[in-house]
Amino acid sequence: MSGVTDGLKASRERCYQSRDEYFKCYEEHKTYNESKCRKLKEKFERDCPASWVPHFIRKHNYEKYKQKLVDEGVLLTEVNDADKANIVGDRLFHMTANILASSVVFSGTNVCSKQNSSPKFPRTNAEKLSYCGCVNDALHDVNVEQFCERMKMFGMKYVDVLRILKDVRYLKTGRVLLRHLCSSSPSLPPYIVLEMVEILVCIHMEDATEKSDEELWRELLLLANKVPHFLKPTVSLLLKSCCPVNILPKLPSNLMLRPVVITALLANYVRFGKISLFQTLLAKETGYDLFKSDQLLRVLALHTNSHPAISSTYLQYLSQRSVTLLDDNMWHFNSIIGQSKYWDIRKTTILDNGDCCICGGKFKKNEDLSETEFSLLKNEIMKYLSDDMHVFSSATDQEISDLKRHIKQEIKSPEGRQSLVVDALNVLYTGINNVRSRYGIDEVLQKSLDIFTDVLLIVRKGGDTNRIWNEHDKFSNSRLSAFFCHRMSNDDLFVLLAVMELGINAYFLTNDSFINHRNMLTPSGQSLFDRWIEKRAVRLNNKDIIMPSKFAPYVHEAENGYHISVKTVNNSVVLYSYFCVRRKHVQ
């Protein structure tokens, strides 16, 4: 197996070399022409695992930016231990005078602090705004020009400041900045104009308008006349959404920022009571994702009791898109349906035959992949495994052949019976609280054998896995077997390969989400993978085996209302709670 280790080392060294060559070229040519490094970047992406590339780029950019702030005297910089003795008053940090002078930032902070305390460098957008004089959507001790100058310390230009103000919903400060920009020049860069228009749209969507906004709208309309042709439809439609819109406008197929425009129009229809137009546009724009706009969801919640069709349309949308609601992101459901006077929500249980205890209607079953769908998924996964194996030396051809032979010889499940593949390393270190307990894994395996016909463990050689296996005769049960891959191999790939080889009726036990492997598949493959995970992934909660839900994990329509499945994820363990939603009889 030394060949596997050598292969892994060589592939990593090749990756690091390609990374360094690309970054060197990038630093030399970024001011002039980044395209000179295109081939080196392609080589970098080819030689390194897909998940490493963005990590390396983010880390490189962070280090460069941090050094820039240090050079400018902005970033707080800790002194090396060797130099601490030479610093009078135990002063470990330095800051530029103009920032220290601000009464808004670090009021009451002792700059010449002791060794164990240090001023907190702002990281979130809200902290950066506060650092520069904007606290709780109001400017303190600075005017708008000084505020923007301070934001430049973080490398932010006007367009960046506008985006941040929009993201944190500081619309009063956004309005002040709009007035400043409109008065500063009769002509502004097009993307600044676009961001300004988006701020004004947000002000209208949040019902935070003032009378003076009419003048802002007219000034932005003049600026919009000077934007390039490809931006005009977007800017024009956004400005129109600030006033009542009584028609369904024709949207060009190549409309820039289409989701932003759709959001603005949908919010406009709801605010002005044009619910039929809202329903028509939402149904027409099949590629639009309602749940990517918290702002629009807030508008729906605000008007849900004024127009009963809003909550009905929301529930229909959930059902038609087979949306899975997450327990930690239920605010929109609670606001639109929970606060609605038109719907009654009750927690329910499901009987063994699938009947709802509240309404008596059937809950949909969690449907498995068809033979054709499983075949498509298997082909995609096998191709990905093959590519990953040969590019990154994550396994050897001999190991793959050995696994297939092991399955053929050791797994003797009759046709249609269920087998289980266990990710032994994951179960040992993440599923069982007491890793050193020799009986924890035994109990899990015994429970597995009570449920499944055959159990196959994928084990990586070395460490605790070998110790536990060697202490007990686990193989006395002919329905239990183990395959040992090399300690430098990627055991996740063997888990996926084993499940694919065992066929459509196989399950796998792991608390790993396999998200990195999923992301390497095509969009259609990812969709099949998600459905397969919902139906075939068995999870471990300490030593309790959690089987996949028998019932649909998404919202679906019932005879007299809707059945809601709410998903709770804790350390990859998925649990569901169920609700029955029925229409109230409103007088």
pLDDT, one tens digit for every residue, the chain (587 residues):
556 566 667 788 888 888 888 888 887 776 445 567 888 888 888 888 877 887 787 777 767 655 665 555 544 444 344 443 333 333 323 333 333 333 344 333 333 334 444 456 677 888 889 888 999 999 998 999 999 888 887 788 899 999 999 999 999 999 999 999 999 888 899 999 999 999 999 999 999 999 989 999 999 999 999 999 999 999 999 999 999 999 999 999 999 999 999 999 999 999 999 999 999 999 999 999 999 999 999 999 999 999 999 999 999 999 999 999 999 889 999 999 988 889 999 999 999 899 999 999 999 999 999 999 999 999 999 888 888 777 666 778 888 888 889 888 888 765 667 899 999 888 877 655 444 445 567 788 888 888 998 999 998 876 555 555 554 455 456 788 888 887 777 788 889 999 999 999 999 999 888 888 898 899 999 999 999 999 999 998 877 899 999 999 999 999 889 999 999 988 778 889 999 999 986 44
CA neighbours closer than 13 Å in the CB half-sphere of residue 30: 9
Quickly count: other Cβ atoms within 10 Å of residue 172's Cβ. Answer: 17
CA distances from 30 to 24, 37, 40, 70 (A): 10, 9, 13, 21
CA neighbours closer than 13 Å in the CB half-sphere of residue 78: 11
8 Å CB contact between 249 and 237: yes
Read off the amino acid at residue 568. T
Q: What does pTM read for this prediction?
A: 0.72
Euclidean distance between CA atoms 471 and 461, whole angstroms: 15
CA distances from 464 to 26, 192, 544 (A): 44, 58, 21
8 Å CB contact between 202 and 295: yes
Sign of CA dihedral 126, 131, 135, 139: negative
Here the tokens at position 565 are 């499945």
8 Å CB contact between 482 and 424: yes
Quickly count: other Cβ atoms within 10 Å of residue 366's Cβ. Answer: 17
8 Å CB contact between 128 and 120: no
Task: Tell me what pLDDT residue 468 has.
Answer: 52
- How is the beta sheet containing 454-460 ordered, strand by strand? 480-485, 454-460, 419-423, 507-509, 537-541, 544-546
Task: Tell me what pLDDT residue 313 has.
Answer: 96
Task: Tell me what pLDDT residue 227 has.
Answer: 92
- Residue 307 CB-density burial (10 A; 0-12 exposed, 13-18 middle, 19+ buried): middle
Q: How many residues does the chain have?
A: 587
297: nearest Cα among 259, 339, 267, 265 = 267
**Three-state SS annotation for 79-136:** CCHHHHHHCHHHCCCCCCHHHHCCCCCCCCCCCCCCCCCCCCCCCCHHHHHHHCCECC
Read off the amino acid at residue 283. A
Helix, strand, or coil (residue 566): strand
Euclidean distance between CA atoms 112 and 334, whole angstroms: 49
Task: Tell me what pLDDT residue 84 has.
Answer: 38
Read off the amino acid at residue 567. K
Q: Where do the DSSP E strands lie in 479-520? A: 480-485, 507-509
Sign of CA dihedral 89, 95, 101, 105: negative
Read off the amino acid at residue 584. K
Sign of CA dihedral 396, 399, 400, 401: positive
Helix, strand, or coil (residue 508): strand
Calculate helix-pair angle for 523-536, 371-392, nearest 10 degrees.
110
224: nearest Cα among 235, 238, 209, 212 = 235
Here the tokens at position 183 are 């008065």
Task: Tell me what pLDDT residue 417 has.
Answer: 73
8 Å CB contact between 537 and 496: no
Here the tokens at position 1 are 């197996």
Here the tokens at position 506 are 């196989």
Calculate helix-pair angle for 491-502, 397-410, nearest 10 degrees.
40
Angle at 82 between CA 80 and CA 88, to 5 degrees: 85
Euclidean distance between CA atoms 569 and 515, whole angstroms: 14
Helix, strand, or coil (residue 298): helix
Task: Tell me what pLDDT residue 11 has.
Answer: 80
**Which residues, listed in sequence order, are joined to residue 285 by a DSSP beta bridge?**
none
Angle at 543 between CA 350 and CA 363, to 5 degrees: 15
Distance of CA 580 to the CA centre of its chain: 28
8 Å CB contact between 531 and 543: no
